A and B are shown apart, each in its own frame.
Chain A
Amino acid sequence: MGNEFALDIQELQFRYRGTDALVIDLPALSLLPGEQVLLKGGSGTGKSTLLQIIAGLIDPASGRVTVAGQDMHALHGADRDRFRGSHLGMIFQTFNLLQGFTAAENVLAALMFSDVPRPRHRARVQELLGSLGIARPDLLVEQLSVGQQQRVAVARAVACRPAIVLADEPTASLDPENAESAIELIQRTCRETGAALLCTSHDPVMVKRFDRVEDLVKLHARAGVRDE
């Protein structure tokens, strides 16, 4: 099951270790290949936690997360890391670029841990950064403008041609004008590379840019789930 989905979540529950309260209780959520979904919800609704469970960075209490046909939590250790590096892209509010490395190296870093054969890395990075308007990929990321850093972060997320890109509040630290162009960039890039996009935000302006909007609070099954 789930093979036709970029992402398929079934009966997912999560609670912090040593606590009883469920932080996430998600009966179902699926994204088709290339589909773009905005996940609404105020801070503290477990949006970031959900994305980290999907990425296999933390384990759920129960349930199943399937990414590109693979049960993420059936994989362990280095296998799961490699699968994440090859099939999943992540974009963060603070970009989380590797400081002290060039723009090109930041994108190359996403490829060096993936299944993409090494000889293709250079060409793919040049193509991606070129199409995103990074004229100087040899500059350290801290020498780039905020807008350019955002582009490098997007390039890095799609470098391995992932099945899905998870974007965690990608525009939260930007002013409205830049936020608009940033989300435009993310959506366009995902569309061009064929990646599905699951984007979290509590910014109401974002709603109009997505065909499908889900409210995490409403998706949650039981009243026990924390809501601020």
Chain B
Amino acid sequence: MRGRGFVMNDFTIIRRSLSARRLSTVFTSLSVAVAVALMLLLLMMRDSGRAAFERGTGNMHLLVSADSDPLTAILNSVFLAAPPRRPIEHAKFEQLARGPWEWFIPTQIGDSYQGLPVFATTPEFFTKFKPDPQEPWKLSTGRFFDKNFEVVLGARAAQETGLKLGDKIALTHGMPMSRTEGADGAAVAAPHVHDEFKFEVVGILQPTGGAHDRAVITGLTSAWILHAHDRREKAEHEHEHEHEGAADHDHAAHDHHEELTTEADLIDSDRKITGIYARVITRPGADSSAMIPVVFNQLRADPSITVAQPTQEIDKLFRIVGSVDRILIAMAGVVAASSGISILLALYNSMEQRRRQIAVLRVLGASAVRIFRLVLAESLVLGAIGAAAGIAIALLGARIVASEMKARLGLVIEPAITPTLGFAVAGGAVLLAGAAGLLPAVVAYRTSVAKNLRPLG
């Protein structure tokens, strides 16, 4: 005798019942799966999106820039969204630097390399600022820059460009795809490559998950020299124009300009700073200080600058986004409720066809409670199948969303289903299915044996 069909237990009954209504089983568990996947995706994205934003600000207390508002300041100078429209005057920087700072690091963005932002700063950025409050920068290879015309690549910048230590690159003045207004507010020529200055790759950072991962990081002085060179070139152009008159000059052809700009040529207006990362002095081991609000309020009174507390701005951002994802989560809740109803209907409708089967099982010795449990278990199984499929869909969906976010926004999110989240959502789905199975189970419990055994016809 063959083995098939020689096992009979509650699960056999549930399995046969589910496969007898295969189409309905597929669709009801699919509806649970969609609800679970939606819910998980939204929660996952919210958590990892928040984590991605929180990763960027590290151990900075305040950000100072000349942007129009604090949130823009954070998005521009920390998440490198776009170059700020106005720089901080150099005299202002020197004035501000005299505050109660543990460190006060000037930064500048505005240049690019193959579409990646160039982040110009001082070596203190690597030694004092930590991208994660607990984790300082770590190199995966090479060293931090200590001379002009050296660059350190963020992990993703290195990955995307394929650059290695010792490679020489030319930076582009300006950002492609971004507004063509310079940091000084004046319109500048279309982005152009400064072939005359070669930057050497001296280090590659380990990934942090923050926006700096996609930055090409170089010394502030080097960036200033690029600007100074532009300024001098322009002046020379005008000079030549005065002499030669009508001749049309190709701006990119620098062959007439033989003298390279050096640090000695810098004047104050070249020394553009677009953002300052600052940390107030704290007691050893403490992350916060009572001085922060005092300094914050003092700086806020200065109309020429904008000061932002990164944690507050990110909270603000997530309050805006939060109301949207509350709506989305509520929608996922509605999908979950409707999947519960579809389980209820599927089982309830099947009860009509199963009255006879239930009556027979009762004659064979199954108690009413056992029948109740069978139907309830069946809906739990539907819920569990749906939850498992939902988790799979969510994981797949998260990978797709994450790679889209990376490709389109450059935002690195690492969506992951934490065990807590997974159990909570999957458990919720199974419980919902169980609740949906209660009414059909009660109908099954109350099915009259005597009435349903009568011969048909």
Q: Is A78 a contact of B455 with CB atoms below 8 Å?
A: no
Q: Chain B residues with Cβ under 8 A from A84's Cβ?
A: 363, 365
Q: Is B455 a contact of A92 with CB atoms below 8 Å?
A: yes
Q: Is A78 a contact of B364 with CB atoms below 8 Å?
A: no
Pick the residue among A100, A113, A138 that contacts B365 (CB under 8 A). Answer: A113
Q: List B25-74 residues whose CB lies under 8 Å from chain A.
A: none
Q: Is B363 a contact of A108 with CB atoms below 8 Å?
A: no
B-binding segment of A31-39, A52-60, A202-210 = A52-60
Known: A52-B450, A58-B450, A96-B360. Is A77-B367 also a contact (CB below 8 A)?
A: yes
Chain A CB count within 10 A is highest, among B363, B368, B453, for B363
Pick the residue among B1, B361, B456 that contacts A126 (CB under 8 A). Answer: B1
Q: List A58-111 residues whose CB lies under 8 Å from chain B.
A: 58, 77-78, 81-86, 90, 92-94, 96-105, 108-111
Chain A CB count within 10 A is highest, among B1, B19, B364, B370, for B364
Please, what's the 1-or-0 string for B332-368, where 1 marks a CB less than 8 Å from any CB in chain A?
0000000000000000000000001101111111111
Q: Is A108 a contact of B8 with CB atoms below 8 Å?
A: yes
Q: Is A98 a contact of B360 with CB atoms below 8 Å?
A: yes
Q: Is B450 a contact of A110 with CB atoms below 8 Å?
A: no
User: In this assembly, does B267 line the interface, its C-beta being within 8 Å of a C-beta of chain A?
Assistant: no
Q: Interface size class for chain B?
A: 35 or more
Q: Is B363 a contact of A55 with CB atoms below 8 Å?
A: yes
Q: Chain A residues with Cβ under 8 A from B449's Cβ?
A: 52, 57
- Closest Cβ of chain A to B349, distance in Å, is 16
Q: Which A-chain residue is minimally distant from B17 (CB atoms)?
A: A100
User: In this assembly, does A201 line the interface, its C-beta being within 8 Å of a C-beta of chain B?
Assistant: no
Q: Chain B residues with Cβ under 8 A from A109's Cβ?
A: 8, 13, 360-361, 364
User: In this assembly, does B4 line the interface, its C-beta being within 8 Å of a C-beta of chain A?
Assistant: yes
Pick the residue among B6, B12, B20, B367 that contacts A82 (CB under 8 A). Answer: B367
Pick the residue among A77, A100, A125, A169 that contacts B369 (CB under 8 A). Answer: A77
B residues bordering A, Cβ < 8 Å?
1-9, 12-13, 16-17, 19-20, 356-357, 359-370, 449-450, 453-456
List of 9 A-B pairs having minimum Cβ-Cβ separation, nearest first: A85-B365, A113-B365, A102-B5, A108-B8, A78-B367, A81-B367, A138-B5, A138-B4, A93-B455
List 19 additional contacts besides A84-B365, A156-B364; criterion CB under 8 Å.
A52-B450, A77-B369, A78-B368, A78-B369, A81-B365, A92-B453, A92-B455, A96-B360, A96-B453, A98-B357, A100-B20, A101-B12, A105-B6, A109-B364, A111-B8, A112-B364, A113-B365, A137-B1, A137-B6
A residues bordering B, Cβ < 8 Å?
48-49, 52, 55, 57-58, 77-78, 81-86, 90, 92-94, 96-105, 108-114, 121-122, 125-126, 137-138, 156, 160, 169, 172-173
Query: What are 14 A-B pairs with beta-carbon distances under 8 A?
Result: A49-B450, A85-B365, A94-B455, A96-B359, A99-B357, A101-B12, A101-B16, A103-B5, A105-B12, A110-B364, A111-B8, A113-B361, A114-B365, A172-B455
